[in-house]
Every structure is written in C-alpha cells, then in structure tokens.
Structure 1
Amino acid sequence: DNKNRLKSVIKQLDQEYDFVFIDCPPGVSALSDNIFNAADIVLMPVIPTTLSIRTYHMVKDYFKEKDIDLSKMMCFFTMVDLRKNMHNEIMEELYKDKRFFQNYVPYLSDVEKMGVYKAPIMEFANSSYAAKCYRELWTEIKEGVVE
C-alpha cells in the first residue's frame, strides 16, 4: 500500500534515531499525503502572508477531510518582519489557533545566508540574534514533541 510505504521505511529507523526529519514543500500532494500519514509530527513553517496562510488552511482542511489527527500538525512562523502590520495581525490571529509555537524565525540576512553558506546558522553566526531565535524555537519544538 503506497500510503504506508514511507511509514514502514521510517519504522526501520526507530532503533537508530530519536528524530527523523523529512523536508518537503508545503501543500497537498502524493508525497505530502504519504508524509502526513507516516509522521508522528508535521512541523509546518508558515510565513505570515496571505498566500502562506491559504496553504496553512488548505493543509489543515486536508487533515480534517482525510481524518488525519490534527494534533500532529504543529506550526511556526518564519520570515517574520514585525515592522509589517500584516505580519503582526496574522500572527496575533493564528496564535489563537494553538497550533503555532510562540517562538518564530525572523526575516534577517543571517537566515538567508544559510543558503549561501549551505550550513546551519550555528556554523557561521552562532552568537547572532537569528541563531538565538532558532535555538529558542528548537527548545519549544522539543518540549512540544517530547511531552
């Protein structure tokens, strides 16, 4: 069965790893359907913009439609620019959903440089504000996943 193929592959990694992360584009596809079914947690980055919010609602509706446990859907904001009213308004509204972690990734050049350096921010800007934000987000994610 195609829906359980990925789940069986991940199950084989249980003994060796505490966490297995699979990165995929947001949205609904055959790949994401497989991931939604196989995952214990679906960690979804959301940019506080109209298009990204539409995708969030589309994925959330898909979970409901396919009877996938909504509690496994956990979200965080990324590319946040608090100087923009829209970002603040969207975040304030979606924080009410309780699916979003309080910590977020700000829109900073150090974050963009990860693509340039092809490395995690801790490798080249460990003491930066962006690295601090990632650490705080990761701590919150671990607490939400492990508990």
Structure 2
Amino acid sequence: MSTATARYSGQLRTEATHIASGNSIVTDAPVDNHGRGEAFSPTDLVSAALGSCMMTIMGIVAERSQLDLTGTTFNVTKHMLAEPRRIGQIDVHFNLPAALSPKHRAMLENAARTCPVALSLNPEIRQEVQFTYGE
C-alpha cells in the first residue's frame, strides 16, 4: 500500500497527501531556485524530517525511561551545494530540559544520532547535531 499520493499544482508546487491520515503538505520551490518560497521546499522537508525523526526517537527512549521531554525544541538549518544542487549539510540544534542526568543525556543523544532518517541519508550529507540543556 502507498504511503502518500501527490499532485503537481503548477507553478513549481506540489501537494502530497498522507494516505492513512488524510493530512496534506504543500511544497514550493525556493526563491533561489525559481520558486516563490511560500511553503516548505522538498529539501526543507528532508531537513525537518531529520530533526523530527531524531526528536521522535528521543521521545520513545524518554517514555521508556519515564522522562518528560515536554517543551523540548529543535531548529534545523539546511546548507545547499551548487553543483550538483543538493543538500550538503543539515544542522540540528536541540534544546532539552536541564534536569536530565548525564546518563540520560548520553542515551538521548545516541538515540537521536541513530534515528532512521539519519541512517538513511546519503553519508555525503554532513549532519551537525548540537544538544543544549536548560536554555
């Protein structure tokens, strides 16, 4: 069974629909590549997927250990290369609760770095991951 369906809307836009939930995502080409930049670009989604996957796996590990990660945030920054045009690096910066012990911090950081998206990306894409506690 398919995971999603998508349709080209014209003007460098697509709309993808998740089959199981019916939720949709619109993509737009970025301004620096002929688009309007009015929605996530496909490469923005890859970058956001990396951070979201890392956070989800950390959440699974936290629940098993009865840790509360509510309020944890992350920022992602995508760095593009020109020839050929592709993602060269993704920076992910997490802000987690200060109360986490060194043991739990190590456990969560390992979980993030071994999430399925991180392990699926081309190894030529640098993944710079930073963890800050208590900010």
Fold agreement, TM-score > 0.5: no
User: TM-score, with normalisation over the residues of structure 1?
Assistant: 0.29
User: TM-score, with normalisation over the residues of structure 2?
Assistant: 0.31
**Structure number with higher helix proportion:** 1
**Structure number with higher strand proportion:** 2
